[in-house]
Amino acid sequence: MMTFRNSFPLKAYYFGLIALLYLPIAILFLFSINSSAFLSFPLQGLTLDWYQKLFASDALLRSARNSLVVGLGSSLTATLMGTMVALLMMRYQFRSKGLLVALAVLPLIVPYIVLAVALLLLFSILNIDRSLWTVGIAHTVVALPYVLLIVGARLAGFDANIEEAAMDLGADYPTTLRRVVIPMIAPAMVSAWLTAFTVSFDEFALALFLAGTQPTFPVYLYGQLRFASRLPIMIALAVLMMIGTLTLVLIAERVRRAE
């Protein structure tokens, strides 16, 4: 059997993939501490001024707060709804079960730009002004499939006999959920919440169409790219955003593996 150590094509593919994924991040970090406003080599010097200027912008801090509010609200709602759908899907048999699953995971298939236009038209027909509420609704929709898949996977490995034993001992199903099922799937729910929050905080297309006059963090970042003088500040902002996202993803994965 061919091993990784003895396979040159496999090693070349692996290291090429690593370089493709992380070399752009390394270059982005280098330019975020470059003292020159021009994005070219060689670097003119090292500085942290661009990071300091980030926190002097009220507009930037407002956009970060907007993303935080939307992310917390939409991820919490998506976690609650996704967990309920996962319980319904994994523990009950009913007609149209396949249709429910298909509708729940549909946001993973539909391009976000198409979903953004569709929701924009829907809110316009209903005379609902664009705001953080509309962004939160959209982010709940796109985060729900991630919660469903994570919690559903945990329930699939959960022995249903434990629930039956609890009910045989006199507990009704709501009590069984509260005292048996929820504690056992809690790590998966936390992992799902972190994933949903990351999806919401990083999402751009839906927020661009639905935010109105209250831009989220990615929308603000995109808007500032038009100004060449602010480009180094936006690069520093992108680095911080990337570090935060990777941190949340690693925490979510660690929590999921701790189940």
pLDDT beneath 50: ranges in the chain: 1
SS3 100: helix
Return the SS3 of 158. Answer: coil
Domain boundaries, the chain: 49-257
Cα 252 to Cα 194: distance, rounded to the nearest angstrom: 6
- Residue-level pLDDT at 138: 92
Q: How many CB atoms lie within 10 A of CB 1?
A: 3
Taking residue 133's Cβ as centre, other Cβ atoms within 10 Å add up to: 16
How far is the C-alpha of 254 from the C-alpha of 252, rounded, in Å? Answer: 5
For residue 127 the two structure tokens come to 């005379």
pLDDT at 257: 66
3-state secondary structure of 3: coil
What pLDDT shows up at residue 95? 77
pLDDT digits (tens, 9 = 90+) for 171-186: 777 777 777 777 788 8
Cα–Cα nearest to 135, from 222, 58, 219, 221: 219
Distance (Å) of CA 193 to CA 11, 57, 62, 73, 143: 35, 29, 23, 10, 9
Residue 117, CB half-sphere, CA atoms under 13 Å: how many? 4
Encoded tokens for 203 = 């999402």
Total number of residues shown for the chain: 259
Residue 157: strand, helix, or coil: coil
Q: CB of 79 within 8 A of CB of 196?
A: yes
Asked if omega into 42 is within 30° of 0 (cis), the reply is: yes
The topology under which CATH files domain 49-257 is: MetI-like fold (1.10.3720)
- pLDDT for position 175: 78
Please give the biggest Cα pair distance in the chain.
73
**Other Cβ atoms closer than 10 A to 41:** 9
